[in-house]
Amino acid sequence: MSFDFRVTHTEERARRGVMTTAHGVVETPAFMPVGTQGAVKGVTHRDLESLGAEILLSNTYHLYLRPGDDLIARRGGLHRFIGWNKPILTDSGGYQVFSLSARRTVDEKGAHFRSHLDGSSHSLTPEKAADIQAQLGSDITMVLDECLAHPAAADVAHLSMTRTLRWARRARDRFLALRDGIVSDVVVSNPGQAQFGIVQGSVFPELREESARHTVDIGFEAYAIGGLSVGEPTDVMYDVVSKTTPFLPADRPRYLMGAGTPEDLVEAVARGVDLFDCVLPTRNARNGQLFTSAGRINIKNARYAEDDRPADPTCACYTCRTASRAYLRHLFLAGEINAGTLNTLHNLNFYLDTLRRIREAIAFRRFESFRLAFHESLSRQPLES
């Protein structure tokens, strides 16, 4: 099955669509739970399927270091290795290299870093990132890009953006060589792979436009907006997204990498974005923070010690059907593994259900009404500390 994307409904800039991959179909806008090392922390693939997850994100950097892309290729590719038969997107490892600022250097060839596991030295080039992902056999692969921290000066951002463009050209050439069977020493575990280009340019609209135009000229199956959710104010992120999506093809998916809160997802959809990933629902769950229709709650707070209500009375997930706030608080304070699992199930359900409701709203041309009601509902309860 080859990669394809079709927009089925629109409302202003919001889009609903169907993305077809080698391992199945994804309805967009879609949220991808983050399975860094081939697993979403705290839950099973059975749980994810019951929640309606159609696509997972896995991490190239971590899987390369452990257990190794060679081993995964010998096991038949990532889908077979982890027992997930639906679509998988793998990142390039660029963000992890960015976050390892004390352990890496970057030059024209690529990124050079020391493993966080054992201190061993490694180099990640655009070609190497493509090779690793070919062996993993994901359905969607990302080019290696350079991600800058915020704030960044305009001249620094320009140099970084143009380097990302040069890397993108090299990554595309390597991807096509792998697809055409020209490379003999790399196992291509999934012949139906697609490759996404990444738009960079920090918070500067003119750099984002330049990056988008040149990345589209290279020619990828789809395009991502990278380099956001790295410390910039929320309104700045929204502005950058709003000024970038018009330069991306309307007939290709648009992926906002690493963002964000439920509010961010709604606002990015309003600006024409189709795909999302973020660690917030799972990470915050393990720290006791739950996303609800009335705002976020921290389940460890004493006010919930004798609260028999579910985390979110409007939610139909397994956690809200079976566990009270009092019980969730007890599990969290007792350090029970089940606390992370139940909290994660709820948070992922909230994210995935929010995207389901967005798709439905767009189909019936009620997205703007949904958007206003969503923000109003979340604003009724202040964020808890």
Catalytic residues: 91, 277
d(CA 212, CA 63): 29
- Identity at 76, one-letter amino acid code: G
**Contact residues for 324 (Cβ-Cβ < 8 A; gap 6+):** 307, 308, 309, 310
What does the alpha-carbon distance between residue 381 and residue 189 come to, in Å, rounded to a whole number? 48
Matching residue, tokens 């994810």: 48
* Alpha helices by DSSP H, 75-153: 78-82, 94-99, 126-136
Written as six digits, the tokens of 190 are: 């999934």
Q: How far apart are CA 93 and CA 27, in angstroms?
A: 26
Which residues, at least 6 apart from 161, have a Cβ–Cβ distance to it below 8 Å? 200, 201, 202, 207, 210, 211
Q: What would the two tokens of residue 125 be?
A: 């080039």
DSSP element (H, E) containing 104: strand 104-106
Q: Between 337-363 and 262-270, two packed helices, what is the crossing angle to 10 degrees?
A: 20
The Cα 89–Cα 4 span in angstroms is: 15
Nearest residue to 19 via CA among 33, 29, 34, 32: 29
One-letter amino acid for residue 43 of the chain: V
Distance CA 177, CA 157 (A): 30
Query: Which element (helix H / strand E) includes 21?
Result: strand 14-21
Distance in Å from the first CA to the final CA of the chain: 47
The answer to whether the CB of 103 falls within 8 A of the CB of 123 is no
Task: State the alpha helices, DSSP H only, in 16-125.
Answer: 45-51, 60-65, 69-74, 78-82, 94-99
- Between CA 302 and CA 219 the distance in angstroms is 55
- Of 351, 372, 352, which is closest to residue 290 (Cα–Cα)? 351
